[in-house]
Amino acid sequence: MAKKFKLFSKLKTNVIDHPKIKYSRLRKRKWLRLKNTVPQRLSEFGSLLMSKQMLRAFYGNCSEKEFTSTYKKAKTLKGNTGVNFIKLLEHRLDTVLFRMRFANTFEEIHQFITHKHIMVNDQVVHTSSFIVKTGDKISIRKDSFDFICKNILTSFQQYLNLEKVKITVEDIEDILVKHQLAFSPDYIEVNYNTLEGIFIKSPILNEIHYPFNIDLPKIIQYYEYKRKL
Protein backbone atom coordinates (compact mmCIF):
# COMPACT_ATOMS: atom_id res chain seq x y z
CA MET A 1 0.00 0.00 0.00
CA ALA A 2 1.34 3.43 -0.93
CA LYS A 3 2.62 5.61 1.88
CA LYS A 4 -0.25 8.10 1.53
CA PHE A 5 -2.86 5.36 1.79
CA LYS A 6 -1.23 4.00 4.95
CA LEU A 7 -1.51 7.51 6.39
CA PHE A 8 -5.16 7.81 5.35
CA SER A 9 -5.81 4.41 6.94
CA LYS A 10 -4.26 5.54 10.20
CA LEU A 11 -6.35 8.73 10.20
CA LYS A 12 -9.44 6.78 9.00
CA THR A 13 -10.22 9.60 6.58
CA ASN A 14 -9.84 10.18 2.85
CA VAL A 15 -7.94 13.35 3.69
CA ILE A 16 -7.51 14.72 0.16
CA ASP A 17 -10.64 13.15 -1.35
CA HIS A 18 -8.49 10.77 -3.40
CA PRO A 19 -10.42 9.09 -6.27
CA LYS A 20 -9.00 5.61 -5.56
CA ILE A 21 -10.79 5.65 -2.23
CA LYS A 22 -13.69 7.86 -3.29
CA TYR A 23 -14.80 5.37 -5.94
CA SER A 24 -13.83 2.27 -3.92
CA ARG A 25 -11.12 1.24 -6.33
CA LEU A 26 -8.61 0.61 -3.55
CA ARG A 27 -9.06 -3.04 -2.60
CA LYS A 28 -6.27 -3.35 -0.06
CA ARG A 29 -7.33 -5.38 2.97
CA LYS A 30 -5.41 -3.15 5.35
CA TRP A 31 -7.34 -0.04 4.31
CA LEU A 32 -10.71 -1.81 4.51
CA ARG A 33 -9.90 -3.39 7.86
CA LEU A 34 -8.72 -0.16 9.48
CA LYS A 35 -11.53 1.90 7.96
CA ASN A 36 -14.18 -0.39 9.43
CA THR A 37 -12.75 -0.85 12.92
CA VAL A 38 -14.45 0.69 15.94
CA PRO A 39 -12.74 4.05 16.68
CA GLN A 40 -10.44 3.87 19.68
CA ARG A 41 -10.97 6.26 22.55
CA LEU A 42 -8.26 8.90 22.34
CA SER A 43 -6.55 10.62 25.24
CA GLU A 44 -6.64 14.40 25.44
CA PHE A 45 -3.21 14.61 23.81
CA GLY A 46 -4.18 12.00 21.20
CA SER A 47 -7.22 14.05 20.23
CA LEU A 48 -5.13 17.20 19.81
CA LEU A 49 -2.46 15.33 17.87
CA MET A 50 -5.02 13.71 15.55
CA SER A 51 -6.54 17.11 14.66
CA LYS A 52 -3.11 18.48 13.81
CA GLN A 53 -2.05 15.38 11.87
CA MET A 54 -5.18 15.43 9.70
CA LEU A 55 -4.54 19.04 8.72
CA ARG A 56 -0.86 18.30 8.04
CA ALA A 57 -1.83 15.27 5.94
CA PHE A 58 -4.12 17.42 3.80
CA TYR A 59 -1.31 19.87 3.05
CA GLY A 60 0.87 17.20 1.49
CA ASN A 61 2.10 15.78 4.81
CA CYS A 62 4.82 18.43 4.83
CA SER A 63 7.50 18.08 7.48
CA GLU A 64 6.68 18.88 11.09
CA LYS A 65 9.50 21.44 11.02
CA GLU A 66 7.81 23.31 8.14
CA PHE A 67 4.40 23.06 9.79
CA THR A 68 5.72 24.36 13.11
CA SER A 69 7.61 27.26 11.51
CA THR A 70 4.43 28.25 9.64
CA TYR A 71 2.53 28.27 12.92
CA LYS A 72 5.23 30.42 14.55
CA LYS A 73 4.98 32.88 11.67
CA ALA A 74 1.17 32.97 12.08
CA LYS A 75 1.63 34.01 15.72
CA THR A 76 3.58 37.11 14.66
CA LEU A 77 0.73 38.36 12.44
CA LYS A 78 -2.22 40.45 13.60
CA GLY A 79 -5.53 38.68 14.14
CA ASN A 80 -6.50 35.13 15.06
CA THR A 81 -3.48 32.82 15.08
CA GLY A 82 -5.42 29.79 13.83
CA VAL A 83 -6.97 31.68 10.91
CA ASN A 84 -3.58 33.19 10.02
CA PHE A 85 -2.07 29.69 10.12
CA ILE A 86 -4.62 28.35 7.62
CA LYS A 87 -4.18 31.40 5.37
CA LEU A 88 -0.39 30.93 5.27
CA LEU A 89 -0.86 27.28 4.30
CA GLU A 90 -3.26 28.32 1.53
CA HIS A 91 -0.66 30.74 0.14
CA ARG A 92 1.87 27.93 -0.44
CA LEU A 93 2.49 27.20 -4.13
CA ASP A 94 1.79 23.47 -3.78
CA THR A 95 -1.55 24.21 -2.09
CA VAL A 96 -2.55 26.71 -4.80
CA LEU A 97 -1.79 24.16 -7.55
CA PHE A 98 -3.73 21.47 -5.67
CA ARG A 99 -6.69 23.85 -5.27
CA MET A 100 -6.46 24.53 -9.02
CA ARG A 101 -6.83 20.74 -9.37
CA PHE A 102 -3.69 20.29 -11.44
CA ALA A 103 -3.25 16.88 -9.76
CA ASN A 104 -5.06 14.59 -7.33
CA THR A 105 -2.16 14.33 -4.88
CA PHE A 106 0.46 16.65 -3.45
CA GLU A 107 3.13 14.15 -4.50
CA GLU A 108 2.35 14.86 -8.16
CA ILE A 109 2.26 18.61 -7.48
CA HIS A 110 5.68 18.45 -5.81
CA GLN A 111 7.09 16.66 -8.86
CA PHE A 112 5.75 19.37 -11.17
CA ILE A 113 7.44 22.02 -9.03
CA THR A 114 10.79 20.33 -8.40
CA HIS A 115 11.12 19.42 -12.08
CA LYS A 116 10.75 23.12 -12.92
CA HIS A 117 7.49 22.88 -14.87
CA ILE A 118 5.76 25.66 -12.89
CA MET A 119 6.18 29.42 -13.18
CA VAL A 120 4.98 32.27 -10.97
CA ASN A 121 4.86 35.65 -12.73
CA ASP A 122 6.76 34.06 -15.67
CA GLN A 123 9.64 32.98 -13.43
CA VAL A 124 10.35 29.27 -12.81
CA VAL A 125 9.82 28.29 -9.17
CA HIS A 126 11.13 24.98 -7.84
CA THR A 127 10.20 25.26 -4.15
CA SER A 128 6.88 23.85 -2.94
CA SER A 129 6.77 26.18 0.06
CA PHE A 130 7.03 29.30 -2.16
CA ILE A 131 4.50 31.87 -0.90
CA VAL A 132 2.11 33.08 -3.60
CA LYS A 133 1.01 36.71 -3.16
CA THR A 134 -2.21 38.43 -4.17
CA GLY A 135 -2.24 39.08 -7.92
CA ASP A 136 0.45 36.50 -8.74
CA LYS A 137 0.02 34.53 -11.96
CA ILE A 138 0.69 30.79 -11.90
CA SER A 139 1.41 29.18 -15.26
CA ILE A 140 3.15 26.28 -17.00
CA ARG A 141 6.55 26.53 -18.67
CA LYS A 142 6.07 26.52 -22.44
CA ASP A 143 8.19 23.40 -23.01
CA SER A 144 6.22 21.54 -20.32
CA PHE A 145 2.71 22.48 -21.47
CA ASP A 146 1.83 19.27 -23.34
CA PHE A 147 3.20 17.04 -20.57
CA ILE A 148 1.37 18.88 -17.79
CA CYS A 149 -1.81 19.14 -19.84
CA LYS A 150 -1.86 15.36 -20.30
CA ASN A 151 -1.36 14.82 -16.58
CA ILE A 152 -4.12 17.27 -15.65
CA LEU A 153 -6.59 15.58 -18.01
CA THR A 154 -5.76 12.22 -16.43
CA SER A 155 -6.31 13.71 -12.96
CA PHE A 156 -9.71 15.08 -14.01
CA GLN A 157 -10.74 11.75 -15.47
CA GLN A 158 -9.74 9.93 -12.28
CA TYR A 159 -11.37 12.45 -9.99
CA LEU A 160 -14.65 12.48 -11.94
CA ASN A 161 -14.57 8.72 -12.54
CA LEU A 162 -14.51 9.31 -16.31
CA GLU A 163 -11.46 7.23 -17.18
CA LYS A 164 -13.33 5.39 -19.92
CA VAL A 165 -14.30 8.69 -21.56
CA LYS A 166 -11.80 10.50 -23.76
CA ILE A 167 -11.72 14.21 -22.96
CA THR A 168 -9.62 17.16 -24.11
CA VAL A 169 -8.60 20.32 -22.29
CA GLU A 170 -11.36 22.18 -24.18
CA ASP A 171 -13.93 19.85 -22.56
CA ILE A 172 -12.95 20.69 -18.98
CA GLU A 173 -15.13 23.79 -18.60
CA ASP A 174 -18.21 21.94 -19.93
CA ILE A 175 -17.50 18.99 -17.63
CA LEU A 176 -17.28 21.26 -14.61
CA VAL A 177 -20.66 22.77 -15.43
CA LYS A 178 -22.27 19.39 -16.17
CA HIS A 179 -21.06 17.86 -12.91
CA GLN A 180 -21.68 21.08 -11.00
CA LEU A 181 -18.14 21.09 -9.72
CA ALA A 182 -15.93 24.08 -9.05
CA PHE A 183 -12.45 22.79 -8.36
CA SER A 184 -10.78 26.11 -7.71
CA PRO A 185 -12.09 28.23 -4.82
CA ASP A 186 -13.32 31.81 -5.17
CA TYR A 187 -9.91 33.27 -4.35
CA ILE A 188 -8.22 31.60 -7.35
CA GLU A 189 -9.18 32.24 -10.96
CA VAL A 190 -8.24 29.43 -13.37
CA ASN A 191 -8.21 29.26 -17.17
CA TYR A 192 -7.99 25.56 -18.05
CA ASN A 193 -7.48 26.30 -21.74
CA THR A 194 -4.18 28.09 -21.09
CA LEU A 195 -3.50 26.33 -17.76
CA GLU A 196 -3.02 29.63 -15.99
CA GLY A 197 -4.30 30.84 -12.66
CA ILE A 198 -4.45 34.12 -10.77
CA PHE A 199 -4.31 34.22 -6.96
CA ILE A 200 -6.99 36.88 -6.59
CA LYS A 201 -6.96 37.47 -2.84
CA SER A 202 -6.06 36.03 0.51
CA PRO A 203 -8.93 33.69 1.49
CA ILE A 204 -11.25 34.02 4.46
CA LEU A 205 -11.87 30.93 6.57
CA ASN A 206 -15.34 30.05 5.25
CA GLU A 207 -14.00 30.05 1.65
CA ILE A 208 -11.56 27.24 2.46
CA HIS A 209 -13.02 23.75 2.13
CA TYR A 210 -11.73 20.37 3.27
CA PRO A 211 -13.03 16.79 2.81
CA PHE A 212 -13.20 16.58 6.62
CA ASN A 213 -13.99 18.86 9.56
CA ILE A 214 -10.97 20.72 10.92
CA ASP A 215 -10.81 21.63 14.60
CA LEU A 216 -8.74 24.82 14.80
CA PRO A 217 -9.04 25.24 18.60
CA LYS A 218 -7.52 21.79 19.12
CA ILE A 219 -4.68 22.54 16.69
CA ILE A 220 -3.93 25.81 18.49
CA GLN A 221 -4.10 24.02 21.84
CA TYR A 222 -1.67 21.38 20.58
CA TYR A 223 0.97 23.96 19.68
CA GLU A 224 0.35 26.38 22.54
CA TYR A 225 0.03 24.01 25.48
CA LYS A 226 1.67 20.78 24.37
CA ARG A 227 4.51 22.14 22.25
CA LYS A 228 4.67 25.42 24.25
CA LEU A 229 5.43 27.56 21.21
- Kindly list the domain boundaries of the chain, sorted by start residue: 92-201
Give backbone dihedrals phi and psi of 138, rounded to 5 degrees, phi first: -105, 130
Q: Would you identify the CATH topology of the domain 92-201?
A: 3.10.290
The pLDDT score that the predictor gives to residue 12 is: 74
* Entry pTM: 0.84
pLDDT digits (tens, 9 = 90+) for 59-110: 988 889 999 999 999 999 999 999 999 999 999 999 999 999 899 999 999 9
Query: Among 94-103, 127-136, 150-159, which stretch is predicted with the lowest mean pLDDT?
Result: 150-159
**Distances, alpha carbon 64 to alpha carbons 55, 68, 70, in Å:** 11, 6, 10
The pLDDT score that the predictor gives to residue 40 is: 65
Strand intervals (E) in the chain: 118-120, 123-124, 137-140, 188-191, 196-199
**Distances, alpha carbon 4 to alpha carbons 15, 59, 66, 70, in Å:** 10, 12, 18, 22
pLDDT digits (tens, 9 = 90+) for 191-216: 888 889 999 999 998 889 898 889 99
The pLDDT score that the predictor gives to residue 137 is: 97
Query: Among 43-47, 112-116, 165-169, 180-184, which stretch is predicted with the lowest mean pLDDT?
Result: 180-184
